[in-house]
Structure 1
Amino acid sequence: MNIVLFYHSLASDWNHGNAHFLRGTVKELLKRGHNLKVYEPEGNWSLANLVKDHGKEKAQEFTKYYPMLKARFYNPVKPDYDAMLKGADLVIVHEWNEPELVATVGELKDKYGYKLLFHDTHHRAVSEVESMGKYDFANYDGCLAFGEVISNIYRNNKWIEKVWTWHEAADAGLFKPQPSAEKEGDLVWIGNWGDNERTEELMEFLIKPVKELKLKAKVYGVRYPDEALRALKDAGIEYGGWLPNYKAPEVFAKYKVTVHVPRGPYVKWLPGIPTIRPFEALSCGITLVSSPWDDAENLFTPGEDFHMAKNSEEMKAQLQRVLFDEGLAQKLAERGRKTILARHTCAHRVNELEDIMKQLGFNEALIYPMQTKTLEA
């Protein structure tokens, strides 16, 4: 099948956590014999910031970890839609694209004859409802929403007729345990400070427990304001700046535990959506302790895949437990990785996408090209 995907960026994960799942999905589709073209706008915000802070050479590094992936750039001022869309069977537009592109790709659907899906991985549907009005979904065949609560919002508002819940998942081939690494500290946290969506939570569930337990800890991420950097320094936490997403397995292997601190909008409005971070951590086989979130869709088993802490004191207690009980820590880490491999890999999500392709009316020769080639041989 000829599949065209419009991403904000395939090449950059600078403040772009979706890159993990998007890259992993493309890898899996390529492995199954599909022809893929992934387009991102020239000068996009994520890649521009990566190049500004770390240089063009660093921006090319992702190809060493993903040699099969190729980012294609288009002029966002004057896109050549004919070159991008001609011959496509399926087009998927990720939500981090301009409304103009979303609308135009929809308007051209009949001309080029493809099926068209919108992929939503953001809390905008509840936090910025007015901004959703800028999107023209009139010609879309369906939406891939990364949680059932988002799916229901689309259905209730009748934005798109067909909606499928399509959770993020781990690229388990790259994000895997590296047990031989020497430990450099107790705790590591990988995440961006962002737009003050979890400032209080980070203070309560990360900075305060680390300071009071006197743990050797390190934090990676971008968009940390001065007050955040001062808080880290006061707690004795080393700040590592931007970490390329594909290096997360190497870093997780050097620490004993990590924490998950979801952003406020997800906790408040979007039960069942953990974002990519716990998938990453569990896939890498590091022990995880999480601040509260409602696993409304039973993606994991809290208490077995990871521990949950309701407040700062509980976080301290849980961290102490796993740091001083290696058997417990290992049991949690192994169970978490097992759950990922059983239910939450990019391969699982592509299996789900193949079922969606069937519902869209594609024949099996297009859905399963490798099987067709085997029969022909």
Structure 2
Amino acid sequence: MKLIVLGLSLSSSWGNGHATTFRALLRAFAERGHDILFLERDVPWYAANRDVADPDYCRLAFYSDLADLEGWRDEIGGADAVVVGSYVPEGVAVARFVQAAARGVTAFYDIDTPVTLAKLSRGDFEYLSPDVIPGYDVYLSFTGGPTLRRIEDRYGAPAARPLYCSVDPDAYPPLDVPKKWDLSYLGTYSDDRQPTLERLLIEPARRLPDLRFVVAGPQYPDGIDWPANVDRIDHLPPAEHAAFYSASRFTLNVTRADMIAAGWSPSVRLFEAAACAVPVISDVWQGIEELFRPGREIILAESGDQVAEVLRGAGAEAMGQAARARVLDGHTAAHRAAELEAHLDGAAARKSGPIAQPQRKSAEIPVQDETYSPRAL
């Protein structure tokens, strides 16, 4: 199929998790035989921090504003499917334009579902509004579970389907490097994540001055009191993620408050770290036990005492390997590309007929029916 994606960013991973998500998914989607165009709003903060210029799996083009986007009307009209992502600048206007211009399937890909729904409930229509949701043929959500029914029942989406984040295992392999840190964390600063980071990393760091910690990610305020044994890395390009995780005895997963409340909202960092076979310590939210088995594939912690106890113990190499096996079995970009294809085909079938009919190899990952339950994951 010919797919057009209008997303927050493909060119720059600076300060966002969208770029790595799109890169892994679209590379795998292209490997299934599809043609992809990614349209990105040209904004100065990403233009100054681009780490992908010419991807080999899709065309990447930029538009300066809505008037400039008009020049892509014919391509959008001729595409088999058009996907608009969350946090796209002027996303409501972009949605109206796409829904008017597209003749194929239209989809909204919400990489921030709980945040989106919280914004809608406050009347904040920064990139999505209730009136455009029914105009999308399918609503693809980073969050599964009961949230999907809410999107359909409350906001009138014709179909809400889970499309969790994933990982490209070739980009996140286990690396044989010296262990530099006992506990690491990779993530952009967020007001609602900071209390958990304080509780599960900074507090244990103060309590265990003989151990080494690191926090990587931009936008942390200057006023944070970092213990002397906590290293800071302002920005870590994706190409360095695997080495970062592999140099950690354990790594920490911290979830935003809206995503904890919704449940079934795994972060892309969770899958990336697990793919590197690094044992993950995570905060607790409903649905995580359906992704990784607690105590065997992941460690769940609610207090600094629990984290400190884990760090005082021996390594958990077997747990890291088990987590990697779980990721390879069901959470790679190839799995998500097959699911995306099934969801778009399902939406097309409801309109007229299937659009994706690739030649499948016997060893290829099977496509699940587009009505599958997210609990099966």
Aligned to 2:292: 300
Q: How does 1:219-298 map to 2 (within 5 A)?
A: 219-228=215-224, 231-232=225-226, 234-267=227-260, 269-295=261-287, 298=290
1:35 to 1:222, Cα distance in 2 relative to 1, 3 A: same
1:270 to 1:365, Cα distance in 2 relative to 1, 3 A: closer
How much is the aligned-residue C-alpha RMSD, in angstroms?
Answer: 2.3
Moved more, 26-35 or 74-83: 74-83
What is the rounded CA distance, in whole Å, between the counterparts of 1:141 and 1:89 in structure 2? Answer: 12
Aligned to 2:171: 174
Aligned to 1:375: none
What is the rounded CA distance, in whole Å, between the counterparts of 1:8 and 1:18 in structure 2? Answer: 7
1:83-102 residue CA offsets vs partner (Å, 9 max, x unmatched): 54142001111112221101
Match of 1:120 among 94, 103, 110: 110
1:152 to 1:71, Cα distance in 2 relative to 1, 3 A: same
Aligned to 1:192: 188
Q: How does 1:1-377 map to 2 (within 5 A)?
A: 1-43=1-43, 45=45, 47-48=46-47, 51=48, 59=50, 61-62=51-52, 67-78=56-67, 79=69, 80-97=71-88, 98-109=91-102, 113-122=103-112, 123-129=114-120, 130-132=123-125, 134=129, 136-148=132-144, 149-178=146-175, 180-194=176-190, 196-214=191-209, 215-228=211-224, 231-232=225-226, 234-267=227-260, 269-295=261-287, 298-321=290-313, 325-326=314-315, 329-361=316-348, 366-371=355-360
What is the rounded CA distance, in whole Å, between the counterparts of 2:355 and 2:259 in structure 1? Answer: 36
1:364 to 1:21, Cα distance in 2 relative to 1, 3 A: farther
1:295 to 1:235, Cα distance in 2 relative to 1, 3 A: farther
The one-letter code of the counterpart of 2:185 is: W
Q: Which runs of 5+ in 1 are unaligned?
A: 373-377
Query: Following TM superposition, by how much is the alpha carbon of 1:365 offset from its aligned partner in structure 2, in angstroms?
Result: 8.4
Give the secondary structure class of the aligned counterpart of 1:367.
Answer: coil
Report if aligned partners of 2:348, 2:355 keep a CA contact under 8 Å in 1.
Answer: no
Query: TM-score, normalised on structure 1?
Result: 0.85
Identity %: 23
The one-letter code of the counterpart of 2:295 is: G
The one-letter code of the counterpart of 2:343 is: I
Query: Following TM superposition, by how much is the alpha carbon of 1:296 offset from its aligned partner in structure 2, in angstroms?
Result: 5.6
Moved more, 203-212 or 332-341: 203-212
What is the rounded CA distance, in whole Å, between the counterparts of 2:249 and 2:52 in structure 1? Answer: 26
How many residues are paired up? 347
Report if aligned partners of 1:218, 1:239 keep a CA contact under 8 Å in 2.
Answer: yes
What is the rounded CA distance, in whole Å, between the counterparts of 1:217 and 1:346 in structure 2? Answer: 30
The one-letter code of the counterpart of 1:305 is: E
Query: Following TM superposition, by how much is the alpha carbon of 1:177 offset from its aligned partner in structure 2, in angstroms?
Result: 0.9
What is the rounded CA distance, in whole Å, between the counterparts of 2:205 and 2:10 in structure 1? Answer: 34
Give the secondary structure class of the aligned counterpart of 1:174.
Answer: coil
What is the rounded CA distance, in whole Å, between the counterparts of 2:182 and 2:115 in structure 1? Answer: 35
1:155 to 1:355, Cα distance in 2 relative to 1, 3 A: same
1:161 to 1:366, Cα distance in 2 relative to 1, 3 A: closer
Query: Following TM superposition, by how much is the alpha carbon of 1:63 offset from its aligned partner in structure 2, in angstroms?
Result: 5.1
Report if aligned partners of 1:220, 1:239 keep a CA contact under 8 Å in 2.
Answer: yes
What is the rounded CA distance, in whole Å, between the counterparts of 2:294 and 2:19 in structure 1? Answer: 26
Moved more, 14-23 or 294-303: 294-303
**More helix by percentage:** 1
What is the rounded CA distance, in whole Å, between the counterparts of 1:276 and 1:224 in structure 2? Answer: 20
The one-letter code of the counterpart of 1:87 is: G
Query: Following TM superposition, by how much is the alpha carbon of 1:260 offset from its aligned partner in structure 2, in angstroms?
Result: 1.0
Give the secondary structure class of the aligned counterpart of 2:84.
Answer: strand
1:165 to 1:371, Cα distance in 2 relative to 1, 3 A: closer
Moved more, 349-358 or 243-252: 349-358
Moved more, 128-137 or 351-360: 128-137
1:124-164 residue CA offsets vs partner (Å, 9 max, x unmatched): 34321222573523432110011224312211213312111
What is the rounded CA distance, in whole Å, between the counterparts of 2:173 and 2:117 in structure 1? Answer: 33
The one-letter code of the counterpart of 2:263 is: P
The one-letter code of the counterpart of 1:72 is: A
The one-letter code of the counterpart of 1:227 is: G
